[in-house]
Amino acid sequence: MDCPHQPQPLVAGEHHGHAYAGCDACGGRFIGKGLLHDALGHARDGALRRERLEALPASAVRCPADGQTMHAAVHEGIEIDVCPQCDGVWLDAGEFEAITQRRKARQRRKDDDEPPEDDDSSDGELIEGVVEFVGEALGAIFDVF
């Protein structure tokens, strides 16, 4: 599986049994269907889901897993690219970064009294936060429209 932006094989990672893949060249990440299954579990009405996904503007990014044109969803000002075929999600490095920064800011506001933690988040922890965000975004697309 190659990066959609350049001929660079994606490096597979794993978090709690869920697979994701990252590009060492551009820093983009692909989060596969397995990881998003739970987030999407309540919104699996196939026809409706597909209709809403395809109503989103087409993205310049093609799914690294199956080559489908992805659709661009914007949630809280951050764009995520979603594949209509496999539910995979592509995040450019800047989008990934924006989500993790936002999560950290949110966390800091929550524990105002706590001393700031060292920034030693593992890739897996970052992915967990990103998956949560993507789950919210997809929930908004499939349920709230």
Q: Examine residue 84 and tell whether it contacts Zn ion (CB under 5 A).
A: no
Binding mask 31-70 for Zn ion (x = CB under 5 A): --------------------------------x-xx-x--
Q: Which of 43, 56, 86, 98 binds Zn ion (CB under 5 A)?
A: 86
Q: Examine residue 83 and tell whether it contacts Zn ion (CB under 5 A).
A: yes
What's the rounded Cα separation, in Å, for the pair 15 and 36? 12
Nearest to 21 by CA among 103, 104, 123: 123
Instruction: List b or e across 46-56, with b for residues whose CB sees 16 or more CB atoms inside 10 angstroms.
Output: eeebeebbeeb
Q: Quote the least distance from Cβ 144 to Zn ion, whole Å.
A: 23
What's the rounded Cα separation, in Å, for the pair 129 and 143? 21
Strands 69-75 and 58-62: antiparallel
Please tell me the count of residues contacting Zn ion according to CB under 5 A: 14
Q: Examine residue 99 and tell whether it contacts Zn ion (CB under 5 A).
A: no
Nearer to Zn ion, 33 or 104 (CB): 33
Question: What are the distances in angstroms from CA 124 to CA 11, 25, 33, 35, 59?
Answer: 14, 19, 16, 12, 26
Q: Examine residue 134 and tell whether it contacts Zn ion (CB under 5 A).
A: no
Q: Which of 25, 40, 43, 93 binds Zn ion (CB under 5 A)?
A: 25
Q: Examine residue 1 and tell whether it contacts Zn ion (CB under 5 A).
A: no
Q: Provide the 3-class DSSP secondary structure of residue 65.
A: coil
Q: Which of 13, 40, 72, 85 binds Zn ion (CB under 5 A)?
A: 85
What's the rounded Cα separation, in Å, for the pair 83 and 101? 24
Q: Which residues bind Zn ion (CB under 5 A)?
A: 3, 5, 23, 25-26, 28, 63, 65-66, 68, 83, 85-86, 88
